[in-house]
Chain A
């Protein structure tokens, strides 16, 4: 971590040592949240004992790390023991999780403290964080535009300075797109790099737990703690250390990588986003990177293939919500069990979730599988080959996170269907499994615009390294009214 990031981390870590500071911080977060609705649950006072207990007292605790004492919030579709696990749904409004996700437990063992659960589009389905049974999330840059989604609560919590980092989930861009809309960093790790145990499944072959952070180096520190094989997730993978990393990230041969831009596939960019892309390219060149054009010809098929796979898998994964084992049970219990299931699901799910379950059920119907699901999986192969081929010519790919700036609440020219169509830039990394990091580039008309870098599988290090260098040279502007630890300190005297 560079000096500035270390200083910020020390500021946050003071929360552990100073109960009065914690109290002022809690009050400020509550005030911010009353306006932004980023958190569904925030009650650190009722968990005061967690601050008293040094990390070393926890079972299997790691030695003190740079994450020791840092507070974080967790998207409410990721399990944390004794917290709610609503998934932003009426169906699970009263569910309390009996256990903790592996990724969260690893952060807790490193000394970080969960302080709340973040708002989201129901079950992670959406690009605006307006589809939540707990109300929409507000973007701290402009209350009239959406926060992005589905991890909008996580992104806003970080952008507003409530916490330095947050966990989200990224099935088709759900960490990166809100991170870009809120002017913070958002990592979608390689599929398999971080255990998904404790993440409520939406589309199992696409879902990953991701990170929202207020800096690239902090994102790296969080990722390093979370990553690695887990006996509870069969898809998790351990990566043996690579000798190339031994000399420190900036000293590796990747210090001045070649960055590929799939320019011909990026034809429909809003002028502000095109400008941000050009600015980012010139900055990359200024720090010594070479940029080249690469082809990503299958990009136009990414969004339809993604939505076939995502909805098909969602229809199967969400079948478990039957109102019997957990979640709200329909009061119409007079009839048979079937009536109870129908009643609980129909009353519990919101419109967007119902739409996706119905679409997924339709495409998996007998006779349609070759036309939809199988074909989408074959396209997925082509997309992955395309990305691999592009990465043969460069070490990183650069593309916008989203083709338009943060859009207005209510759609602002993008209806629900169009919001799905423009997800292609983020969905590509979920289809292919590659890691991608969204990072802030510029402010246009008062709204943040972000880009994303993609790397070969398990080369997250390259992403943090380049994004960190850009951040050090061109510091990121914070959201208006964002809380900083410095704001809280003067009140002490």
Chain B
């Protein structure tokens, strides 16, 4: 009898789907067809779908079934459908980078991460929408994408976050079990937090960016967006590793072995009370208090700390603007930049060409100080903890910089942890921790470079004590 594909399957973890494939509850073709059709049907509802790949995916799934029949197992992702942010190339298919000037762009080879996932038997069912050019010029509208504004599955009047918008909403709505996103400064953590899923930003250089759109060579990272910390570990184990095609590659391997890392009770976790009491919007504070209580229950020692007072905003803005303007110089000088959807982004990219070499070098020199001082911070704590975002997803009808001039607390706490962590190239894990006004909110854990297993071990412990990552929006 054919399996009925219900929400219990569409919202299952990778481990659960893998077990059911092995026990032959359904075939890879059946699973892939069900997800691919759901993505095609519901993806446009959230402006999440850039390109359906249903036919190709079903052919690949048939190959997986042949392997499973011969009991040739390639790992936990074998036969699992996934989506990829449309800044990753997929041979012979359009890769738009979310931007109209690149709508017809086709590459003849696939990104290393997609190659690696396919080799392990994972099946790409669709490319996912994103903010145009990953928002490198700065943008003030959720509609800064050729696919339209990313709509949040929890409330379609709200933004799904950017720039990995489609990756966030597709996982949250049960359209794919996992997706690949990218982060230059906040583009995995933000949609993961707004959509109520688990997102991992790996250490700079751990995952090859070959075949990915470049925005900022010294800050771009690719990472998994999943249902749980465990799933993030399983995906990272496949996509991580050295690559001579990526000049930024750290040439390091990653094996997902959280059981060999320190137990939560032995960890010192640094946090700034002001982040939770003042920076967090009032509606989110009860959820964050519960999250802190759950972290305390693990036995971890919470230690008050704060980030060194450094110009994180000016640094990220200068570095991303300068590198992004250099990457997109042909687009800017040809005038095609004016075809982008967001006028602020157009202006930002154009202005980036005028950053002086002195300013760029000064920013990169101060960045070395940032790395040094944050490294020292980790002498006293093992992990940093802060809200992923201080509020829930904003309305798509409102400018994203609406609150930019609001009064802010004097104590900076760790309010700049997203730019600081990205400048230092550090890994971060965003974990759903509750709701405010019916919308998800999340905490982030940040660790020293290449501490992914430790972050995932703590995240996994947190998710055994809470069920926020199991909550589902009403899709359909």
Q: Do A and B bind each other?
A: no
Interface residues of A (CB under 8 A from B): none
Interface residues of B (CB under 8 A from A): none
